[in-house]
Each structure stands twice: as C-alpha cells, then as structure tokens.
Structure 1
Amino acid sequence: MFENLTERLSRTLKNVSGRGRLTDDNIKDTLREVRMALLEADVALPVVREFVKRVKERAVGTEVSKSLTPGQEFIKIVQSELESVMGEGNEALDLSCQPPAVILMAGLQGAGKTTSVGKLGKLLKERDKKKVLVVSADVYRPAAIKQLETLATDVGVDFFPSSVEQKPLTIVKAALEHGKTKFYDVVIVDTAGRLHVDEEMMGEIKDIHQALNPVETLFVVDAMTGQDAANTAKAFNDALPLTGVILTKVDGDARGGAALSVRHITGKPIKFLGVGEKTDALEPFHPDRVASRILGMGDVLSLIEDLERNVDKKEAEKLAKKFKDKKGFDLEDFRSQLQQMKNMGGMMGMLDKLPGMSQLPGDMKDKVDDKIFMQMEAIINSMTKGERARPELIKGSRKKRIAAGSGTQVQDVNRLLKQFTQMQKMMKKMQKGGMKNMMRQMKGMMPGGGMFPGR
C-alpha cells in the first residue's frame, strides 16, 4: 500500500530548499508536486485542496528549529497534516455496554465484508478474550451464509445458523436473543451487500439497525476503489449512523487514496485495515504509523507488535537454548524460522515496515519474493527427519527424491542447501563471537556493505 505515493513524495520532499525559513517561493514547486502525487494516488479533490492549503498555511514563514533543516521542518508539517487528514489517533471499538455488544457490518458486495466479520471475530476472541457469536443476514446469497459458517469454524468463534428462507429481521432478532441467553460478549452481524447503493438495500439495513441498536456500525469498503470508496462510505453514512470504517484489500492497493479520503469525506474514523487474505490479516488503523509509512519512514512499532504476536515464544527459547549449549543449527530450525516469517506477512510485509524501504531500487525489491520462501519450506518438508538433522547426508539420489517430492528441480535443492550452509556458518560465528560478530557478517552480506544503498 502507498508504494506510488511514497515514491513520489520521497522524491519531491528531497528537493525542498530554503535558508533559515520556509517561504512561498521555495515551497511552491514542492507543493505542486505534493498535489500531483495525491491526485495520482486517487485522493479525492476536496481532500487534496484542503490538505495543500493547510500545509502551505503552516509552512510559510515558519521559523526552522535549530535541530532541523527547512526540508525536515516541511516534512514534519506534511506528516502532521497527513495524520490530521486520517484522524488524530487509533480509535478502538467501543464495547462498553450491557453485553452482548452488537457490531453491525455494512458495505457493497465484494468489499470483503464476510471475511472481515471472521477476521474481527478472531481478533476480539484472541486479543480481547471475548466470547463472540457471528450471524449472517445475507439471505440473497446462499454462499455467504456457508462462507461465514466455514470462517467461524476456522477462527474458533460461534456461528448462529440462518437460511435463505428466513427474513433478515427475524434472523438478527433471534441471534440477539441467543446472544443474551448464552452470555455472549459480542454479536457480529453480517448484512447483505449489493453491487451498488439502492433504496431497497438501505431500507433493509436501516430496519436491522433499528431492531439491534448496535454499539458499532462499521462500513466495510474496498481500498482499491480509491476515492469511490469515500463516496460510497458517504452514501452509507447519510443513511446509517456509522461509527467507523474497515478498509479492505489495502495490500493490493499501491495508491492509498481511500485511506486519505474516507475520514475527510465521511467524518468517520478508519478503525481497521484488511491487509491480506489470512484470517489474522486485520490491523488496527494508526494514522501516525500510516503517515510515517507514506513518507518512507517505516512503521517499526507495528513491526514490533507483529513480532510479539507471531513469534512462537517456545520455539525462540528452544533455539536460544541450542545456542547456549553450542548445539548446531539444523534444517528443522531453518524451517521454523521460515514459518514464523510467513506468519508475519512474509518478507515483503516485514520490509515494508522498515524505514528507508522506499529508497531500495525496484530490481532489489523484485528479488524479495515470498514464493521463494514457500518453495524452500516445501523442499525441507520433503526431507526425512534424519536429513533435516544432518544435511550432509543429502547427496545425488536423495536430492532427486526431495526435488520430486516438493515439485522442484535439483538445482533448487542445491540452492537451499547452499543458503542454509551460509546461515549455519553465520550462526556458528555468532556462538563464538556474539552479536557484534554476527552484525558484521550481515553487513558484509548486504549490497554496498549497508542496509540501504546510496545512504
């Protein structure tokens, strides 16, 4: 998300010049470039106009802090205004009511509403330790009810059965009653979507809203529709008292216009981002972190949270003990590391949150392909337990068997073994010389001897 905008803004903001203060003249060209970058990112025109106006008002005549250059001061203003456009901070769900707290999900067909119900159910169950019930009132699409039932089973939350013969109002009233009698903390209601906003759809969802009186009414919208996402959200907001927005498919949206338009146009906060197809790919929306990513400064806080949430503590302790006891690093350990990286959204998902990634050349980013890591895991899975413990056993005929079992070529197996050997050597050096030695080794492996070329 935001790749195009980040690239454009990073290039533009490098060119800010000035002596001691920012003036109308020395920021005119930069502001024009910022305006173009936002329009190309499909940010709604009224949002762009207001944004540029506010940045200009704050920047012109600003005394530059002694610790900052004019360029840095300008970037600080741009970052602050980006945060302001998207909301001042993360707005969490307000579940402080007599249980069960009802969350109503609304949105157009294909926006990812049903998937978001499953993801939100999982997040509330695992992070907030809530007892969650989900129900589908989408009687127009039989597959939607079955899809939600399957999702509920996958994420471990309870599903309230419904069928296409029932009326949506009957379903939701029965689900709410069941939620009360069985002492559920949260009931999440999936409503029907249409291909476009129509009166019939709005009338139905208004009736459901009135019957349930939900504490949260969340509008689910596809980020890839750009400023249309903000306009659709406004149409729903005019009909329903929305409390927030879930932006889905942001991992496939290189522009990011929706994230910058929704809050301004609807006045409602973005509460979550859907960042992938997996059931745990739902992140709370933090405007300050997103603004930092847009400006190529990374999002280290989210990366730390990902690590804390996804790193298997037992596996990490086991590996640490192996190191302490000077036992070797084997392919079983290597596979475990690959799996944990996959749980964190893959290599690209991690790298996107690191500062300076926007400066990496495109050809280098292309080399970071998560499919390679999946292939590596498949190769290790095709080995016997003995081969994983003693990779030196893997010779000619064994390599052919492993390649056939993993659907790869012998050269792929050779490549994995070579990479594993390099990693094994690095681990041994770390055991002998500690972390400093390992960092020196890693630095030597990086292009140009450092993390980011040209820095």
Structure 2
Amino acid sequence: MAFEGLGERLQATMDRIKSKGKVSEADVKVMMREVRLALLEADVNFKVVKQFIGQVRERALGSDVMQSLTPGQQVIKIVKEELTELMGGENQKINLAQKPPTVIMMVGLQGAGKTTTAGKLALHLRKNHNKKPLLVAGDIYRPAAIDQLETVGKQIDIPVFNLGDQVKPQEIATKALEHAKEEHHDTVIIDTAGRLHIDEDLMNELKDIKEIASPDEIMLVVDSMTGQDAVNVAESFNNLLDITGVTLTKLDGDTRGGAALSIRSVTEKPIKFVGVSEKMDGLESFHPDRMAQRILGMGDMLSIIEKAQTNVDMDEQKKMEQKIKDQSFTLDDFLEQMDQVKTLGPLDELLKMMPGANKIKGLDKMQMSGKEIDHIQAIIRSMTMEERERPEKLNASRKKRIAKGSGRSLQEVNRLLKQFQDMKKMMKQMTSGKGKKKNPLGNMQLPF
C-alpha cells in the first residue's frame, strides 16, 4: 500500500519525540532531518519538502509548544496538521452542475487507467449521488479503447455512447451531449484520448472538447506509480487545460506515495479521488486529514465506518449484536460475518486503518485476500448444521472428515476452531465489561 515506507519512518521519528517531557531545539532539528529524509525517500518533490519542513520547524519551535506540558504530542499534532494541509486541507467534492447534465471530462496520459476510472467514477456517482450517468467513448486512437469502455459499461450496467473510431472526438462530444439530454442522463463522463507523452495535437483536441462540452469537471487521471513524473504530468495538463481535480490511480500498489503529497502543492488543484483496488467499486473520495492520520499510524476509523454503512446490512448487524450479547453466536453466524467482511475489502487493509494497528506484531506481514476467507467458509460449509451450532462436538474423526470435504488441512480446521473460541471469549469480555482494556486483537490467532 502507498505510504507504508513513509509511514514507518515518520512513526518511528514521532515515537522518539512523543514521550519526551521536554523538547529542545536540538531535538526538533534531529526530528526535522529524519522527516525530510523520509519525505524525499517517498519521492516527494524537493521544493514541497523544503516548504513543509520550514513550516513545521517554525511552528514546533514556537513558545506555545516549547512551554507546554506535552511538547512531544504538540509537535506530532503540528506534523499531522501540516501533512493534512499539504494534501489539500479538506475533502473536495466533485463539481456537480445545478442544471443537468453535469459534464466530466477525463484526461491524462495513456496507461494511467483513465478508461477504467471513468467507469469507476460513473458507478460511484450512481451509488453515492443517485445519478444517471452516461459514459462517452471519445478515445478513437488507442486500439480497443472503445471496446474496453463498452466492457466496463456492461460490467456496471451503465450505457456507453459510441460512434466508432471514424468520427472526430469533437463531434462525438457534441452528439453525446444531445443524446444525454434526449435520454435524460444527468451526468456525462467523456473518456478522452491519451498519449504516451504530452504533445500539441493531443492538447489542441482536448481544448476543442473543453470548448464544446463546457465541462463542470476536468478530471486528470494520474498513475501514482510513476512518482515524480506524475507531478510533472499534472503540472503540464493543469497549465494547458486548467484542470479542476485529480484522481490518483494504483494507490494500492507498491508506490512510495510522493505524488499524492506533491501534486496538490504544485498544481494547487485538489486530489478528489484515489483508486484503492482494481475492482469497479475501488474508487474512494480523498480525505487529506484521514490520509495524514494513516501515514502517522493514527488509524482511519471514519473510512471504516463509511465502508460499513455502505456495504453492511445494519438490521442484520443488530441481530448479530444480540446473539453476541446472549452468547448464542454460532459458526453459521461467523460464516455470515465473513460474507459481510468480504464486501468491505481486504481484511489486512482494513486492520491497517485501525488506530494503533502499526503496533500489532506481524500485521505488516499479514496478507489476507478473498481466497483465505473462501478457505474458512469452505471449512464451515463442510460441517453439519449441528456441528456449526455445537463445535465442541467435533472429535478427531469429524475434523478429518471436514478437512477432507473442504480440501483444507487438519491444522487449518483446528486453527479456525481455536480462533472461533478465542473470539467468543473476547466477545463475552467486551459485552460483560469485565475485559481488561487492551488491544482487542490481543493474542487471537488468525487462521491463515
């Protein structure tokens, strides 16, 4: 995941200063050197790093920090606030027209993920803003670009306006707007052509489309894996088209995250969305404050809550809470919970969003995809209804039968049963209020 290396370096630096009863100017100097190195290693633009360090140092050396009772905590607070400001301060929503249709023009270089992002954005707007989007195939140059958008449209059940690859993009944009009004689409998302590099022909075409479509949003799609090049691309597109927002793709990949920390400062245009997975629902609104908290190991509970509210059946959750309270929670219920968890995304990524997750030993090495959940579900489904309700009845021969029936090992079956029992004990402690206040994940062993 992006920012992991940066997060580890910054968290180690913060931990060293957090517990200090007094913070000297020398302490701040050492800390700033560490922070500067961490940001440069994350591929943050050196001018942005210089400005950021200067602002943090100035605030950290202020009398209100040096004379406070918790100077270490105050310095961490300053770093978090400045990181948040560096990435845009607050969440910037997409520009929606007061009088439909809203026109969104997707721009960017070839290979950035523009076509897929257009589909993800259409799905996001339908799901979260109750919109009726129309996707427009405006890239007539890249082989299979039109077919790709058609495939994306079918996948998410959103119509695609397509005039083939023999009609000029300018005409496609004109006809698409007419079609949208006739069919009462309140949002038009135009997938424009990209190139391997910025050239005059591309920019002239994009300028023409901008003039014809009068877009409410010019969304630049940037591949965050390209690091500092992403910042240069953003600056060029902004100078030529005056973009209104940025979507960073592949933020779930092995990227250092420097682009997200630099683009806002260099272009003065907000990052509005980030691609967090290859799935069509893997597009999230960008919240600078939440990202700053995650980088510093403070967790991101708001994003977890939002995911749950969107994907989890709250009535079913209330029934499950009651079962936990009266100790009637069974392996069948556990199976149902696993289905709910799968809708929220990879468990290892969710756990990393928990406050203090960086302190949980071994979590950084944990990899849990949908496959592992499938394995757990296969084990439970190989049990009889009675065994699911009363797992204590599972003797050695029954466990062997379940292992064989699920295609998993006997060790995996035993691990799952132990985890289930540990979880029930933890739930009992939490609901009775007798549990000691410690990490709820504690010593619970995960079955994978």
Q: Which residue identity does 1:275 align to in structure 2?
A: V
Note the aligned Cα RMSD (angstroms). Answer: 3.0
Moved more, 311-320 or 407-416: 407-416
State whether structure 2 residue 329 is matched by structure 1 residue 317: no
- Counterpart secondary structure, 1:134: strand
Moved more, 368-377 or 396-405: 396-405
Cα distance in 2 between the residues matched to 1:73 and 1:246 = 32
Q: Is the 8 A contact 2:60 2:66 kept in 1?
A: no
Q: Is the 8 A contact 1:142 1:164 kept in 2?
A: no
State whether structure 2 residue 330 is matched by structure 1 residue 330: yes
Other-structure match for 2:357: 357
Q: Once the two structures are superposed, what CA deviation does each residue of 1:275-316 show, in whole Å capped at 9, x if it has no partner?
A: 111222211111111111111111122222122222222321
Other-structure match for 1:434: 431
Per-residue deviation, 1:400: 6.4
Q: Is the 8 A contact 2:221 2:246 kept in 1?
A: yes
Cα distance in 1 between the residues matched to 2:409 and 2:392 = 19
Other-structure match for 2:241: 240
Cα distance in 1 between the residues matched to 2:163 and 2:380 = 44
Other-structure match for 2:4: 3
Other-structure match for 1:127: 128
5 Å-filtered alignment, 1:96-245, equals: 96-245=97-246
Q: Is the 8 A contact 1:105 1:217 kept in 2?
A: yes
Q: Which segments of 5 or more consecutive residues in structure 1 lack a partner in the other structure? A: 450-455
Per-residue deviation, 1:391: 5.4
Other-structure match for 1:87: 88
Q: Which residue identity does 1:335 align to in structure 2?
A: L
Cα distance in 2 between the residues matched to 1:389 and 1:60 = 61
TM score, norm. by length of structure 2: 0.88
Q: Is the 8 A contact 1:41 1:255 kept in 2?
A: yes
- Counterpart secondary structure, 2:165: coil
Cα distance in 2 between the residues matched to 1:350 and 1:147 = 30
Q: Once the two structures are superposed, what CA deviation does each residue of 1:250-277 show, in whole Å capped at 9, x if it has no partner?
A: 1114521111000011111000111111
Cα distance in 2 between the residues matched to 1:282 and 1:305 = 13
Between the aligned residues of both structures, percent identity stands at 50
Per-residue deviation, 1:112: 1.7
- Counterpart secondary structure, 1:15: helix
Per-residue deviation, 1:128: 1.0
TM score, norm. by length of structure 1: 0.87
Other-structure match for 2:262: 261
C-alpha change, 1:52 and 1:127, in structure 2 (3 Å) is same
Other-structure match for 1:12: 13
Per-residue deviation, 1:366: 1.8
Cα distance in 2 between the residues matched to 1:142 and 1:387 = 55
C-alpha change, 1:144 and 1:317, in structure 2 (3 Å) is farther
State whether structure 2 residue 270 is matched by structure 1 residue 280: no
Cα distance in 1 between the residues matched to 2:147 and 2:396 = 49
Other-structure match for 1:52: 53
Per-residue deviation, 1:377: 2.6
Per-residue deviation, 1:343: 1.6
5 Å-filtered alignment, 1:298-313, equals: 298-313=299-314
Q: Which residue identity does 1:339 align to in structure 2?
A: D
Per-residue deviation, 1:57: 2.2
Q: Once the two structures are superposed, what CA deviation does each residue of 1:77-112 show, in whole Å capped at 9, x if it has no partner?
A: 212211121112111012133210100111122212
State whether structure 2 residue 400 is matched by structure 1 residue 409: no
State whether structure 2 residue 368 is matched by structure 1 residue 369: yes
C-alpha change, 1:121 and 1:400, in structure 2 (3 Å) is farther
C-alpha change, 1:317 and 1:41, in structure 2 (3 Å) is same
Number of residue pairs aligned between Structure 1 and Structure 2:
442
- Counterpart secondary structure, 1:102: strand
Moved more, 213-222 or 414-423: 414-423
Per-residue deviation, 1:28: 1.4
Q: Is the 8 A contact 2:43 2:256 kept in 1?
A: yes
Q: Is the 8 A contact 1:275 1:283 kept in 2?
A: yes
- Counterpart secondary structure, 2:281: coil
Q: Which residue identity does 1:42 align to in structure 2?
A: D
Cα distance in 1 between the residues matched to 2:134 and 2:44 = 36
Q: Is the 8 A contact 2:21 2:72 kept in 1?
A: no
Other-structure match for 1:453: none
Cα distance in 1 between the residues matched to 2:385 and 2:323 = 18
Q: Which residue identity does 2:165 align to in structure 1?
A: V
Moved more, 387-396 or 91-100: 387-396
Q: Which segments of 5 or more consecutive residues in structure 2 lack a partner in the other structure? A: none
